[in-house]
Amino acid sequence: MIKGKCGCGAVTYQLKAAPMYVHCCHCSDCQKQTGTAFALNGIIETENVECDGPIREEQLETASGKGQIITRCSKCGVAVFSNYLAREGKLRHIRIGTLEEPGRCPPDIHIFTSSKMPWVKLPSDVPVYEEYYNIPEIWPQPARERWRAVFGS
């Protein structure tokens, strides 16, 4: 199992599987919500996340208009994961920086780079998209199979 926790350690979680895919999102919303240049999110099935501790949930707007729910530690306020409502609560976007070993989950893709900070240099060996992308064209077969198991398509 992959383990993680918030900044103060009051909220802990375990992933029963590795993330399907890891996004490095450079959109202006992620910049504002994290207070930094991008958000690093591991996408995983909700059923593969076990969370314990005092949490609070906040709903925020997204560019899609459907919003997201961010799960935070109610003591220190650190976001541990989010749930994009466009995905009907079936997936979690784990904040990779809260993992005990975040280096195990490097980004698979950089998205919304049209709004990235100009001083961020992107690697040449990872796909880069100015906006979003077509998942079936990019994700490897095992990740697409997990996606289909969740959504049926």
Structural domain spans, the chain: 2-144
Helix, strand, coil distribution of the chain in percent, nearest 5: 25, 35, 40
Per residue in 97-147, pLDDT tens? 999 999 999 999 999 999 999 999 999 999 999 999 999 899 999 999 999
Whether domain 2-144 has CATH 3.30.70.150: the reply is no
Per residue in 20-33, pLDDT tens? 999 999 998 889 88
The answer to whether the beta carbons of residues 135 and 144 sit under 8 Å apart is yes
Measuring CA to CA, which residue among 64, 100, 93 is closest to residue 79? 93
CA atoms of 34 and 113, how far apart (whole Å): 16
